[in-house]
Chains A and B, each alone.
Chain A
Amino acid sequence: MPEADSANQVPIVGYLQLGDDPHLRANECTGCGARYFDRRNACAKCGGTGFTETRVGGAAVLKAFSVVHNAAPGIPVPYVSAIVETTDGTSVRSNVVGLDDPMKAELGMQVELTTYVCGTDDDGTECVAFGYAPV
């Protein structure tokens, strides 16, 4: 069994890159440029099988949202779920964080990627999530 290590952190998903400069990474199709956050077999847009890993920009615009009041156990409510589009044209789903009132979420608002610790497991490993905060 691994030793507990409070300094140890893992990203909540594989496409979140931690470190000094946290950012999202996508598998980009070498044929058509379509970007994916999941492990790929082929491209859903063009059928190509070549991918390169690419950095997704942190600046984004809020394109759609919902203020969720009824959520799975353990999830603090209300929270703002959002679809944002990064300035380099990639749609991302996450929470809008850093609003004192969730009803202040506004379509078209400028947001920026941010990271925070969202939990700790029984080995003391911290889970780091990402969200988007108003600029």
Chain B
Amino acid sequence: MSGDSVWVLGANMTRFARYPELDALDLASEACLAAFADGGVDVHDMDILAAGSLFQPLGFGQRLQKQIGQTGIPVFNVSNACATGATAIRVAYMAIKAGEAEMGLAVGVEQMGKMGLLAGANRLERKVYEPSGRHGSVTSVDGILGTETMPGVFAQAGTGYAYENEGVGFEQFAKVAYKNHLHSTLNPLAQYQKEFSLEQIMGSPVQSYPNTTLMCCPTGDGAAAVVLVSEERLRSLPKEAQQRAVKISASVLTSDPWVESGQVQPDVNTLTRNAAAQAYETAGVGPEDLDLVELHDCFATAELIHYDNLGLCERGGAGEFIDSGAPFRDGRIPVNVSGGLISKGHPIGATGVANVYEVATHLRGEAGDRQIEGAKVGLAHVIGLGSACGIHILEKAAA
């Protein structure tokens, strides 16, 4: 083992839910203070803060410090679509890896309330067609030149996969949602903890076929935080902290390389494949070594194609993979045992930290009813449209 690894020392997430009586500072503070307590450290041990949120106004990290401790350390305010949380972790990771920090705090938070997934149309009082923007459009094109809504964009990613590969249809996508709702019944931190039958999922109102309402993640509120530490500093900490620490054996962030169709349909595949290849190479593990995976199931169609992108199944075999039961918690590679974004929830900035929390908690053997027994290696994946993909591979500390 190299001596310059970066480790997760403390981790926490709030339950994902709706918290109309709290603000984002309350949620982030709760997760940060609990992550400190979990790692047996406090704010004075931190050399850097990376604070991720998509919807908080500029300077959120500094406002957070004014609640949890103003120690004068550098603050990075991070915004990177749905990969915001993973990017915050990566910022703290890089600072430690570079030797600029020994310990760092990465937090992700969002307070979305019941905001819709649909962009609101800007209505001028007087309508006059004037070309504007880089496409010279005279009006909003959403709904006229195809969809710009998230359920639709990800539906097209799914049907695009179905066009290229055998054995993928409405039922395979629905099974993904069935699995994640089922998994969430064991997770007290999940926004919803309710099982639905396949018939209920397929029969719920269609948002963007093949994604029905029960195949789409909800909006919600929540926060998650991790304390990262250098290997050298970790060795100076109490034995118990060392035993509970989880090694980050790969931290990868990619963006989408040029593909022909990228200008009309965001490519969520290539950057995920690239990130996975880099992560497996860096960590020296392969998909067959993974005991659990938390991946970005913003919609059921997305999870299915990421089985393939992350190499969890044979190329083109994502339909067969879900049909075989492999990603269920008792299957070959449990995927989203937390309930995933579909049922655990998706407060955007928090998501990429929460999935690292989830994997780390299993590797520590502290996941309670949803524990994957004997888990030693896990992978956390997020993707934000635009696009950004973050992958972290975590490993249990050697006994």
A residues whose Cβ falls under 8 Å from a Cβ of B = 10-15, 34-39, 44-45, 63-75, 78-79, 81-83, 85, 89-95, 103, 107-108, 118-119, 121-123, 125, 127, 129-130
Contact = CB atoms under 8 A, between A and B. Distances in A.
Contacts of A36: 263
30 contacts: A10-B131, A12-B137, A13-B138, A15-B135, A15-B136, A34-B258, A38-B135, A44-B258, A63-B261, A64-B160, A64-B163, A64-B265, A66-B151, A66-B210, A70-B151, A72-B143, A75-B143, A79-B143, A83-B265, A85-B261, A91-B261, A92-B264, A95-B144, A107-B162, A118-B144, A119-B139, A121-B127, A122-B126, A127-B129, A130-B145
Nearest to B134: A38
A66 B156 contact: yes
B146 A83 contact: yes
B65 interface: no
A30 B255 CA distance: 25
Contacts of A121: 127-129
Contacts of B22: none
A13 B119 CA distance: 19
Interface stretch (B201-209, B240-248, B310-318, B321-329): B201-209
A94 to B, nearest CB: 5
Contacts of A95: 143-146
Interface of B: 118-121, 126-129, 131, 134-147, 149, 151-152, 155-157, 159-160, 162-163, 205-211, 258, 260-265
Nearest to A79: B143
Contacts of A63: 160, 163, 261
Contact of A66 (B134, B155, B260, B264): B155
Q: Give 7 nearest A-B pairs by CB, closest first.
A: A14-B136, A75-B143, A66-B155, A64-B160, A91-B261, A67-B209, A81-B147
Given A70-B208, A72-B118, A122-B128, A65 B156 contact: yes
A31 to B, nearest CB: 13
Q: Which of B143, B205, B211 has the largest count of A CB atoms less than 10 A from its CB?
A: B143
A63 B265 CA distance: 11
B154 to A, nearest CB: 8
A15 B151 CA distance: 26
Contacts of B120: 72
Contact of A81 (B129, B156, B163, B258): B156
B159 A13 contact: no
B261 A83 contact: yes
A69 B156 contact: no
Contacts of B261: 63, 83, 85, 91
A39 B131 CA distance: 12
Contact of B209 (A13, A66, A118): A66
Contacts of A82: 146, 156
Contact of A72 (B126, B135, B142): B142
B117 to A, nearest CB: 8
Contacts of B156: 64-66, 81-83
A10 B146 contact: no
Given A64-B157, A81-B156, A107-B162, A37 B147 contact: no
Given A12-B144, A72-B118, A83 B205 contact: no
Nearest to A41: B134
A75 B121 CA distance: 10
A114 B234 CA distance: 65
Given A83-B160, A93-B146, A66 B128 contact: no
A120 to B, nearest CB: 9
B116 to A, nearest CB: 9
Nearest to A125: B129
A45 B258 contact: yes
B59 to A, nearest CB: 31
Contacts of B149: 68, 70-72
Contact of A91 (B127, B137, B139, B260): B260
Contacts of B147: 66, 68, 71, 81
A71 B207 CA distance: 9
Contact of B118 (A13, A65, A71): A71
B121 A74 contact: yes
B145 A12 contact: yes
B144 A129 contact: yes
B152 A68 contact: yes
Given A69-B206, A108-B163, A14 B137 contact: yes
Given A34-B260, A63-B160, A68-B208, 18 more contacts: A12-B138, A14-B135, A44-B262, A64-B265, A66-B151, A66-B209, A70-B151, A72-B119, A72-B140, A83-B146, A83-B261, A91-B261, A93-B265, A94-B144, A94-B146, A95-B146, A121-B128, A127-B129
Nearest to A39: B134
A12 B141 contact: yes
Contact of B208 (A13, A69, A91): A69
